[in-house]
């Protein structure tokens, strides 16, 4: 076993790897950018090395700086976690050339399975069924479009060099193929440095089933059962579970054997995942999609049902040890479900959010586990992936695991940063999810009913109680009678104190019932029902949902011009970076025309014209960093433009 291992990643996965290193008595070395100088993974490691400024390209993705950090600290091996470098053959090869052990498969295996086109050809030759689609690499836009028309829509555009849903486009209308291919190439190039695409037949209402494999350097290969990953949004997994309710023992064994053959076909070593797409109506017909040559985000559910620490086995295999068990020794016991907690705002179309974590509670124990990279005071910005943590629940059966996970999400508190915890809790309670009737399109079909709409009355009540408490006099000294929130006024009877609050819509409200306010909680009684919220500064939270309560001063708003921002102004929907500007001041635009692209947390958002008109103002350029709700451009309506011209 190694003495020292460098963890070449950040956040939740770095903390996760460090935990296993500590349990094995192996010294851990963390790396950090300037933005992460006080991050949790830095504090938990035995040693930490600064590797550059905040942008990932200059820090976490800099092979030169990572290798230098390993050399300075005497590391013998590098664990890449998951993400870009974990599936980067050049990084694996650079580690080997520097005399370091890359904790993962060989560079050749990564290169082979990282190229989805070659991967499909390789596993097909090994007898593994594959999804019908384009063959050959380096297809032009025209050739991709021709292949898509030959397959017949709907089709799925996929980057050959990466995964995680980045750059994937589902195309149902052949008329938009050119635009979708261009967008997929742009996102693939930004995410993976390679814009090669392939096109595959889209299977309606499919299920996403993946098989965990583990291989040593001595010819041993086993599978550890499957994970159901069908609950996705924008092709990104949000809920995963093991085992899948879809598979019987015979299908599980057949898919497991296919995954083992796929791993053998590329000489695999370490932990990896073979992903299949399965028609929900006939699970015996399954197709290979891709192989992820790394540890998966959802690996904890497999750990809980098998009792194996996958990070530990990654380390043991990389150190040259053989697997200590065979396929016959693998047993799946109980059921586990995982939810990915992300910095995003469901009420704003799941746009990335950010901020400072002001109050944090992460549930643990009684069949619940949280893998997290957060701590109170953590800054969540727009530079890195939006996933903050994972909440995992285990039980003797699926119903118990689902119930425990819903309860755990209700107890999860991340005030200061808007997250999807409440949305996930409602999703897990959806009748189709409870019944196990899943497919990859379920979330998109049901999303409107899962996103909280409006603000509950008790939130206003709690916000008013907090404001009233802040106005109460403190201490034993003299109190200015004009500052007492008594409702007193000259020439009239006292009236209840009123507060002008804006959560979703401005309201005037004052607490009507009994209320209790402490440093971290507020309880209010409304219509005989007592409601308790977590609180921190101007945030309130309950059952996974959170509300940011802001003071609203109409006079100040009018002076700053905020009150006059209308439909003509295009604002940033999220904090991020402007990557594309397609217009200039004076250009005439049509309604719905794409004008700018803002990127945050590896996600693009297109800013379109709200109506036909003329670009009157353009306040940003490519590369500009913008805040949420910052004005980007102003479009004068066509009618107004014509009047001005006349």
Taking 80 as the threshold, does the pLDDT of residue 475 lie above it? Answer: no
Mean pLDDT of the chain: 89
> What average pLDDT does the segment 55-60 reach?
91
Please report the pLDDT score of residue 573 as a whole number. Answer: 83
- Determine what percent of the chain is predicted with pLDDT higher than 70: 89
Please report the pLDDT score of residue 390 as a whole number. Answer: 98
In 3D space, the residue among 104, 485, 27, 483 whose CA is nearest the CA of residue 315 turns out to be: 104
C-alpha 576/C-alpha 393 separation (Å) is 33
Residues with Cβ within 8 Å of 624's Cβ and at least 6 positions away in sequence, in order, are 577, 578
pLDDT in tens, 66-101: 999 999 999 999 999 998 899 999 999 999 999 999
**In which band, very low, low, confident or very high, does the pLDDT at 394 lie, cut at 50, 70 and 90?**
very high
Please report the pLDDT score of residue 507 as a whole number. Answer: 44
Taking 60 as the threshold, does the pLDDT of residue 642 lie above it? Answer: no
State the pTM of this model.
Answer: 0.81
Is residue 635 within 8 Å of residue 589, measured between CB atoms?
Answer: yes
- Of these ranges, 82-86, 469-473, 488-492, 493-497, the one predicted with the greatest mean pLDDT is 82-86
Distance of CA 594 to the CA centre of its chain: 25
Which uninterrupted H or E stretch holds 320?
A: none
Taking 80 as the threshold, does the pLDDT of residue 176 lie above it? Answer: yes
Assigned fold of 206-444: D-amino Acid Aminotransferase; Chain A, domain 1 (3.30.470)
Say what angle helices 89-97 and 63-73 make with each other, to 10 degrees. Answer: 30
Instruction: Give the residue carrying structure tokens 């746009």.
Output: 351
C-alpha 156/C-alpha 203 separation (Å) is 9
Domain extents in the chain: 4-103, 133-201, 206-444, 454-472+499-552, 565-645
Taking 60 as the threshold, does the pLDDT of residue 106 lie above it? Answer: yes
Please report the pLDDT score of residue 493 as a whole number. Answer: 60
Q: How many helices (H) and strands (E) does the chain have?
A: 18, 38
| DSSP letters spanning 417-475 | S--SHHHHHHHHTSHHHHHT---TTHHHHHHHHHS--S--HHHHHHHHHHHHHHHS--S
- 557-592 burial, b at 16+ Cβ within 10 Å, e below that, comes to eeeeeeeeeeebbbebbbbbbbbebebeeeeebeee
Is residue 427 within 8 Å of residue 450, measured between CB atoms?
Answer: yes
CATH superfamily of 133-201: ATP-grasp fold, A domain (3.30.1490.20)
What CATH number should be reported for the domain whose range is 4-103?
3.40.50.20
Please report the pLDDT score of residue 556 as a whole number. Answer: 61
Assigned fold of 565-645: OB fold (Dihydrolipoamide Acetyltransferase, E2P) (2.40.50)
Of 488 and 437, more confident: 437
C-alpha 156/C-alpha 170 separation (Å) is 5
Please report the pLDDT score of residue 486 as a whole number. Answer: 59
Of 51 and 575, more confident: 51
Please report the pLDDT score of residue 494 as a whole number. Answer: 58
Please report the pLDDT score of residue 259 as a whole number. Answer: 97
**3-state helix vs strand vs coil in the chain, percent to 5:** 30, 30, 40
C-alpha 407/C-alpha 425 separation (Å) is 8
Taking 90 as the threshold, does the pLDDT of residue 438 lie above it? Answer: yes
Which uninterrupted H or E stretch holds 119?
A: helix 116-125
pLDDT in tens, 142-158: 999 999 998 888 899 98
Phi (first) and psi of residue 61, to 5 degrees = -105, 5
C-alpha 631/C-alpha 619 separation (Å) is 7
C-alpha 592/C-alpha 562 separation (Å) is 24
C-alpha 179/C-alpha 157 separation (Å) is 12
**In which band, very low, low, confident or very high, does the pLDDT at 646 lie, cut at 50, 70 and 90?**
very low
Lowest average pLDDT, out of 441-450, 466-475, 494-503, 630-639, goes to 494-503
C-alpha 237/C-alpha 288 separation (Å) is 17
As a dihedral over the C-alpha atoms of residue 515, residue 516, residue 520, residue 521, rounded to 10 degrees, the angle is -50
Relative to beta strand 47-52, strand 27-33 is parallel
pLDDT in tens, 342-390: 999 999 888 889 999 999 999 999 999 999 999 999 999 888 889 999 9
pLDDT in tens, 16-53: 999 999 999 999 999 999 999 999 999 999 999 999 99
pLDDT in tens, 193-209: 889 998 988 887 899 99
pLDDT in tens, 510-565: 556 678 999 999 999 998 999 999 999 999 999 999 999 887 666 665 655 444 44
């Amino acid at each position: 076993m190694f003495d020292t291992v460098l963890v070449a990643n950040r956040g939740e996965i770095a903390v996760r790897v460090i935990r296993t290193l500590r349990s094995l008595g192996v010294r851990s070395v963390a790396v950090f950018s300037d933005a992460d100088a006080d991050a949790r993974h830095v504090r938990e490691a035995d040693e930490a090395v600064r590797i550059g400024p905040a942008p990932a390209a200059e820090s976490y993705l800099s092979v030169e700086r990572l290798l230098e950090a390993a050399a300075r600290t005497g590391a013998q091996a590098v664990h890449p976690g998951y993400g870009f470098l974990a599936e980067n053959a050049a990084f694996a090869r650079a580690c080997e050339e520097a005399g370091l052990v890359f904790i993962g498969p060989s560079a050749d295996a990564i290169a082979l399975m990282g190229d989805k086109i070659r991967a499909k050809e390789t596993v097909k030759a090994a007898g593994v069924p594959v999804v019908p689609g384009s063959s050959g690499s380096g297809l032009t836009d025209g050739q991709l479009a021709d292949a898509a028309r030959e397959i017949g829509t709907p089709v799925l555009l996929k980057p050959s060099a990466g995964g995680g849903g980045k750059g994937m486009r589902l195309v149902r209308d052949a008329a938009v193929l050119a635009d979708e291919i261009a967008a997929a190439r742009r996102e693939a190039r930004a995410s993976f440095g390679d814009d090669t695409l392939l096109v595959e037949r889209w299977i309606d209402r499919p299920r996403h089933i993946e098989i965990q494999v583990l291989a040593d350097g001595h010819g041993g290969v086993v599978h550890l059962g499957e994970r159901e990953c069908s609950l996705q949004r924008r092709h990104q997994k949000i809920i995963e579970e093991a085992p899948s309710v879809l598979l019987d023992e015979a299908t599980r064994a057949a898919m497991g054997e296919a995954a083992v053959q796929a791993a053998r076909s590329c000489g695999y070593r370490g932990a990896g995942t073979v992903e299949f797409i399965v028609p929900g109506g006939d699970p015996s017909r399954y197709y290979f999609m891709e192989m992820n040559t790394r540890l998966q985000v959802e690996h904890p559910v497999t750990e809980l049902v098998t009792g194996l620490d996958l990070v530990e086995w990654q380390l043991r295999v990389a150190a040259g040890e053989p697997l200590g068990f065979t396929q016959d020794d693998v047993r799946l016991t109980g059921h586990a479900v995982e939810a990915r907690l992300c910095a995003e705002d469901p009420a704003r179309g799941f746009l990335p959010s950010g901020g400072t974590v002001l109050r944090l509670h992460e549930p643990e124990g009684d069949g619940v586990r949280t893998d997290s990279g957060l701590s109170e005071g953590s800054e969540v910005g727009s530079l890195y992936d939006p996933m903050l943590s994972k909440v995992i629940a285990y039980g003797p059966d699926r119903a118990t695991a689902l119930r425990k996970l819903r309860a755990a999400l209700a107890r999860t508190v991340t005030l200061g940063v808007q997250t999807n915890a409440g949305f996930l809790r409602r999703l897990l309670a959806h009748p189709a999810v409870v019944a196990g009737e899943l497919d990859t399109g379920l979330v998109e079909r049901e999303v409107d009913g899962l996103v909280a709409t409006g603000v509950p009355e008790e939130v206003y009540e709690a916000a008013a109680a907090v404001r009233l408490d802040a106005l109460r006099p403190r201490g034993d000294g003299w109190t200015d009678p004009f500052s007492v929130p008594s409702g007193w006024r000259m020439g009239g009877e006292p009236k209840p104190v009123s507060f002008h609050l804006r959560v979703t819509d401005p309201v005037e409200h004052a607490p009507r019932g009994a209320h209790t306010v402490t440093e971290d909680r507020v309880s209010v009684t409304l219509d005989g029902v007592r409601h308790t919220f977590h609180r921190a500064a101007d945030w309130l939270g309950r059952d996974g949902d959170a509300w940011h309560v802001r003071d609203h001063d109409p006079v100040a708003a009018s002076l700053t011009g905020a009150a006059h921002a209308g439909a003509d102004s295009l604002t940033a929907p999220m904090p991020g970076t402007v990557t594309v500007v397609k217009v200039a001041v004076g250009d005439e635009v049509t309604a719905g025309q794409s004008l700018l692209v803002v990127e945050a947390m590896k996600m693009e958002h297109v800013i379109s014209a709200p109506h036909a008109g003329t670009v009157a103002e353009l306040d940003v350029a490519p590369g500009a960093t913008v805040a949420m709700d910052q004005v980007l451009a102003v479009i004068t309506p066509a009618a107004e433009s014509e009047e001005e011209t006349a």
